Structure formats: C-alpha cells, structure tokens
C-alpha cells in the first residue's frame, strides 16, 4: 500500500468518524431540548 | 412586518424576475419540444433545437430556480435570524447583475458561443460574472446569519449555507479553463478527467442548486403553512449531514460504461444507492409532520403543493439511484427515460415547492390576501397533469427506445435501424409537447394570480390594522 492509498483510507475513515460524531452529538439526550427548540422558535411571530 | 426593518423590496424584485425567467424557460421548452416533432420549426441558425435547448435549461436553472433561491433565501434568512439583511446595496447590485448575466447568457448561447458542457454552456466571461454574482450573494447571506439574534440555527439555514458554499466550489472548479479569445476557451482538464469533473459538477449542481434550496424552502414553508412544527428537527439535521457527506461522490454515475476507471463508477453507484437514506429522511420528516394535519391537504392549497412536491422528491430519489446501477443504466442510459426523470424533478419537486413558497411569501411582502385560491387550485391540477403526461410518456418512450436499440436478429445484426427507432418516438414526443403546453397554462395562471394579488388583492389583517393605526 503506497502513501497516497494510506492517505485516501485515512481521509475516508476520518470523514466517517466525523459523521458518526455528528449523529451522536445530535441525538445525545443532553441536547434533546436544545436540538428541537429551533422548530418551535421559527413558528413564533417574526 | 416593515417595522422589523426587513428588506422586502429586494424579495419583491427577485420574485418578479424569477417568474419572468421561469416563463421564458417553459416557453422555450415548449418550443423545442414541438421542434422535435415538427423539424420545420427550426429556423437556422439562431432558432434551432441545438441553440434553444441550452437556453431552456439555463433559463430554468439559473433564471427560474436560482431567481427563486435569491427571493426565498432573502425572505427566510431575515425572518429566521430576526435581523435585517446585512447589506441592502449589495442585494440591489446582485439583482441587476443577475439579470444582466442571464441576458448575456441567452444572447451568447443564441449566437452559438458554448463550452458544450451540459448545464455549464456559457463561455468564460459569463462564468466570471456568475462567480461575482454568487460571491455577492454568499457574503450577504453569511453575514446576515453571523449577526443573527437566534442562538439555534433552524435547519433551513443549514441547507442555505450548504447550497451557497457547494455551488461556489462546484462552479469554480468546473469553470477552470484557458481562454483563447473573448468567447472561446478550452477546459483545464483533459479526456476522462474533464468528463469526471464535469459530471461531478453536473450532478452536484442538482444537489446544491435543485435539492438543498428546495429542502430549505420545504422545511420553512411547510410548518409556516400548517401552523405546526416539523416532526423532528434532529432528524432533519442528521438527514442534512448525511446528504452532504454522500452527495459529492455520486457524479460519476453519469459515466457508467465509459473509460472512467471502474472503481470511480462503482464508488458513485454505491453512494447513489446510499443517498436514498438522507433523501427519505427528509421525506419521512415531511410526512410525519402532517400527523393529525392531513385534512389540510383538502383545506390548504399551500400544503397540497408542498406535500406533492416532497412526494416527487421521494420518487426522484428512488428512481435516481435505480438508474445509477450499472445493469439498469446499460438499458436506459441515452434514452428518453432520462429527461423524464429530470423533468419530474424540475417540474414536480423543485417547481411545486417554488410555487408554494411564492404563494406563501407574496401576500406577506405585499400585505395582500392571495387573489384567488380557486385559481391556485386550478394551477395545481394543470401543472400536476402536465408534468405527469410529460414524464410518463417519455418513460414509456425510453423503455421502447431501449428495447428497440437492444433488439437483435439471430445472426447478431440489429433488428431496427436508428431511424426506425426515431419514428416510433413521435407519438410520445407529441404527448410530451402537449404535456408541456398544459404545464405552461398552469404557469400563466400562476403569474396572473400573483399579478392580481399584488394589484387587486384585499389588504391582509395586519395591513388593515397598520392602516387603522396610522389613521
């Protein structure tokens, strides 16, 4: 495996890890209220 | 409304111009569809199918769709951030530069100046104009978001930012070229690399100009129209990031069975199938937002447009990945099946959402009730029926065409000549042209309804209260 292949693999795994972290962060129980508040706020009179 | 200091004048202007360019796009589309069945309607050199077809596509994408993006983004960003636009002057500059760019594009395409790259036919001076235009837009939207008063960003703002950044990257990379004269340039890429970059741009222009912005509009205008929030904001965020992570790898599915390396084709095929998940994440979010509200499909014309729009999005995002699979692509690629797919997306998904968005915001920016709901309902049925006739006739044509191309005699020779396959297309092409006419009738009703709303609509309750207050 050459260096460019290792780099491609690392970027792919890195992107996947970032995506998983976003999902975990979005669905964490601590953020439930904060994560949903925007959908109610946008309905307020603007 | 005006007390907030929001700039609605710029929204009004972009609504007007987007609708004008939308009419041009559909009118030229109808003309070229009749040119297919009546070749005598080609008037060389300027009004031939070859010159008019890119005007149809570019007016549709850059005039109508991008015009609606400008109008709705300027409307939504101020309301979602609860601050006025960062720069009114920059927005005004953008409006006129937008129109100059569209006119310059139409004139140069008519004169035959083209890069021959689909959806990016304009030559390099116009590319430069489009980049200036987009940078002005990006600065204004991003700066408005930066100074927002709302801490949490609603999902529409995420889709808006993705669209702005995504289009900028795609357009700049695909524009790279070496000019040899004022209206002639050569691509910076060669051979299969050029094709790969081009379809990386082409397919992701669909993502960043014709998917992310209508999703921003859908997530904003559906709850505003029904009066109830979306089902899950967190699901919308995950669907958003999934879409962003997956979409950019799919462009090479336009190049299956070509000299592009097999691994790139397989990668594009795999990501195209995976893309069903984020797409349907938004579709389910839309449907689940209607829990207990389905009666509004009968009572609220805006909901009808929005739900049919997201349904067509769902259908498109199943059909698209299906076409991206090698075996199926081998059968339908280069046939009339493909324009049927594209037009269900543009006439069904994108335009349905655009019509609903403009029907929602025009009464609010002018302080007038919509002139005629029956006319809005009539328009809904005309564009739905017109679009279905268009798409279904070409699906059938595509399957027939593919079957005839692939038919072989016992000795291995082709059963049909190319001309025989063309002749078989005529009934379907006639149906397509009449479907387009019906759709255009719906669009004309839309324009009439908006015009009458602005000029003859009853003042809204808020407008009346403000007038009483002033008196």
HEC states along chain B? CHHHCCCCHHHHHHHHHHHHHHHHHHHHHHHHHHHHHCHHHCECCCECHHHHHHHHHHHHHHHHHHHHHHHHHHHHHHHHHCCCCCCHHHHHHHHHHHHHHHHHHHHHHHCCCCCCCCCCCCCHHHHHHHHHHHHHHHHHHHHHHHCCCCCCCCHHHHHHHHHHHHHHHHHHHHHCEEEEECCEEEECCCHHHHHHHHHHHHHHHHHHHHCHHHHHHHHHHHHHHHCCCCCCHHHHHHHHHHHHHHHCCCHHHHHCCCCCCHHHHHHHHHHHHHCHHHHHHHHHHHHHCCCCCCCHHHHCHHHHHHHHHHHHHHHHHHHHHHHCCHHHHHHHCCCCHHHHHHHHHHHHHHHHHHHHHHHHHHHHHHCECCCCHHHHHHHHHHHHHHHHHHHHHHHHHHHHHHHHHHCECCCCCECCCHHHHHHHHHHHHHHHHHHHHHHHHHHHHHHHHHHHHHHHCCECHHHHHHHHHHC
Q: Which pLDDT score, from 0 to 100, does residue B2 have? A: 46
Cα B396 from Cα B339, distance rounded (Å): 12
Q: Give the number of C-alpha atoms closer than 13 A to the C-alpha of residue B408, restricted to the C-beta side.
A: 5
Say if residue B463's pLDDT is above 90. Answer: no
CB B241 within 8 A of CB A22: yes
Question: Is B427 an interface residue toward A (CB < 8 Å)?
Answer: no
User: Using CA atoms, how far apart are residues B94 and B122, in angstroms rounded to an integer?
Assistant: 19
- CA dist B19 to B23, B67, B167, B377, B463, Å? 6, 8, 22, 18, 25
Q: What would the two tokens of residue B244 be? A: 């962003």
Residue of B152, B155, B238 with shortest CB distance to A37: B152
* For residues B162-180, average pLDDT: 96
Q: Which residues of A touch B230 (CB under 8 A)?
A: 39
From the CA of B172, how many Å to the nearest CA of chain A? 23
| pLDDT, tens digit, 9 for 90 and up, residues B113-146 | 999 999 999 999 999 999 999 999 999 999 999 9
Contact: A26, B82; criterion CB under 8 Å: no
The HSE-up count of residue B90 (CA atoms within 13 Å, CB side) is 18
Identify whether the C-beta of residue B303 lies closer than 8 Å to the C-beta of residue B357: no
Q: What is the ipTM of this complex?
A: 0.91
**pLDDT, tens digit, 9 for 90 and up, residues B187-246:** 999 999 999 999 999 999 999 999 999 999 999 999 999 999 999 999 999 999 999 999
| Measured distance CA(B340)–CA(B393) in Å, rounded | 8
User: What's the pLDDT at B469?
Assistant: 63
B373 is written with which tokens?
A: 């709901």
Taking contacts as CB-CB distances below 8 angstroms, the residues of chain B near A37 are: 152, 233
Distance between CA B32 and CA B42 in Å, rounded? 9
Pair B212, B158: CB distance under 8 Å: no
Nearest to B302 by CA among B252, B248, B352, B235: B352
Question: What number of CA atoms fall less than 13 Å from residue B157's CA on the CB side?
Answer: 22
To the nearest whole number, what is the mean pLDDT of chain B? 95
pLDDT in tens, B275-309: 999 999 999 999 999 999 999 999 999 999 999 99
Inter-chain CB proximity A41 and B154 less than 8 Å:
yes
Out of 3.40.630.10, 1.10.260.40, 3.40.50.150, 1.20.210.10, the CATH code matching B2-465 is: 1.20.210.10
User: What percent of chain B is modeled with pLDDT above 90?
Assistant: 96
DSSP string for residues in A1-46: --HHHHHHHHHHHHHHHHHHHHHHHHT-GGGHHHHHHHHHHTTS--
Please give the pLDDT value at position B470: 59
- Name the residue with tokens 């491609």: A8
- Mean pLDDT lowest for which of A42-46, B63-67, B388-392? A42-46
How far does the CA of residue B220 sit from the closest CA of chain A (Å)?
A: 8
Distance from CA of A12 to the nearest CA of B (A): 11
List, for residues B30-44, the tens digit of each pLDDT value.
999 999 999 999 999
Note the pLDDT of residue B461.
Answer: 80
Q: Is a pLDDT exceeding 50 seen at residue A17?
A: yes
Residues of B in contact with A26 (CB under 8 A): 234, 237-238, 241
Give phi and psi for B148, each to the nearest 5.
Answer: -65, 155
Q: How many CB atoms lie within 10 A of CB B293?
A: 17
B7 pLDDT higher than 50: yes
Rounded Cα distance between B111 and A30, Å, is 61
Find out whether B148 and B81 touch, Cβ atoms under 8 Å.
yes
Task: Answer whether B234 touches A (CB < 8 Å).
Answer: yes
pLDDT in the model for residue B460: 87
The Cα B134–Cα B140 span in angstroms is 10
Task: Give the pLDDT score at B462.
Answer: 75
Q: Write down the pLDDT at residue B340.
A: 96
- 0.90 exceeded by pTM: yes
Q: What is the mean pLDDT of residues B350-374?
A: 97
pLDDT band at B471 (very low <50, low <70, confident <90, very high): low
**B462 or B290: which leads in pLDDT:** B290
B147 touches chain A (CB under 8 A): no
Model confidence at B4, in pLDDT bands (50, 70, 90)?
Answer: confident
Q: Are B234 and B298 in contact (CB under 8 A)?
A: no
The reported pLDDT for the residue numbered B1 is 45
pLDDT at position A45, please?
Answer: 72
């Amino acid at each position: 495996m050459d260096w460019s292949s290792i780099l491609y693999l690392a970027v792919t795994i890195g992107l996947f890890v970032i995506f998983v972290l976003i999902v975990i962060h979005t669905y964490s129980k601590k953020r439930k209220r904060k994560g949903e508040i925007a959908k109610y706020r946008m309905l307020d009179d603007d | 409304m005006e007390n907030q200091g929001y700039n609605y004048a710029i929204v009004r202007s972009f609504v007007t111009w987007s609708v004008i360019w939308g009419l041009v796009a559909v009118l030229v589309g109808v003309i070229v569809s009749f040119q297919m069945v009546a070749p005598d309607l080609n008037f060389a050199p300027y009004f031939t199918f070859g010159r008019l077809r890119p005007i149809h596509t570019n007016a549709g994408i850059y005039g109508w769709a991008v015009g609606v993006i400008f109008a709705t983004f300027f409307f939504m960003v101020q309301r979602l951030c609860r601050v006025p636009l960062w720069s009114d002057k920059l927005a005004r500059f953008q409006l006129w530069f937008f129109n100059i760019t569209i006119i310059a594009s139409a004139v140069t395409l008519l004169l035959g100046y083209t890069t021959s790259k689909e959806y990016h036919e304009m030559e390099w001076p116009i590319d430069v104009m489009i980049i200036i235009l987009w940078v002005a837009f990006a600065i204004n939207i991003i700066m408005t978001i930066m100074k927002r008063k709302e801490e949490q960003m609603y999902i529409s703002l995420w889709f808006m930012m993705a669209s702005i950044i995504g289009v900028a990257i795609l357009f700049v990379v695909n524009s790279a070229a070496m000019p040899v004269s004022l209206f002639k340039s050569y691509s910076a890429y060669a051979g299969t690399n050029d094709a790969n970059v081009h379809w990386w741009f082409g397919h992701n222009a669909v993502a960043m100009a014709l998917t992310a912005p209508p999703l921003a509009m859908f997530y904003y205008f559906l709850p505003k129209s029904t009066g109830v929030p979306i089902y899950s904001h967190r699901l919308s965020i995950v669907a958003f990031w999934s879409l962003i992570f997956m979409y950019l790898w799919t462009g090479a599915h336009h190049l299956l069975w070509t000299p592009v390396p097999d691994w790139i084709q397989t990668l594009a095929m795999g990501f195209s199938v995976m893309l069903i998940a984020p797409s349907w994440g938004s579709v389910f979010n839309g449907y689940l937002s209607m829990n207990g509200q389905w009666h509004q499909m009968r009572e609220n014309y805006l909901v009808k447009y929005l739900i049919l729009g997201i349904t067509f999005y769902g259908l498109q995002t199943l059909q698209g990945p299906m076409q991206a699979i090698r075996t199926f692509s081998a059968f339908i690629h280069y046939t009339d099946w493909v324009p049927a797919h594209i037009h269900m997306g543009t006439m069904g998904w994108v335009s349905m959402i655009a019509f609903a968005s403009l029907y929602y915001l025009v009464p609010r920016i002018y302080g007038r009730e919509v002139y005629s709901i029956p006319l809005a309902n009539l328009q809904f049925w005309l564009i739905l029926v017109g679009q279905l006739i268009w798409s279904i006739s070409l699906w059938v044509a595509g399957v027939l065409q593919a079957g005839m191309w692939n038919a072989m005699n016992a000795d291995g020779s082709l059963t049909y000549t190319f001309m025989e396959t063309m002749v078989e297309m005529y009934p379907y092409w006639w149906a397509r042209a009449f479907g387009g006419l019906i759709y255009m009738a719906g669009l004309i009703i839309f324009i009439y309804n908006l015009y009458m709303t602005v000029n003859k609509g009853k003042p809204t309750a808020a407008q009346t209260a403000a007038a009483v207050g002033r008196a």
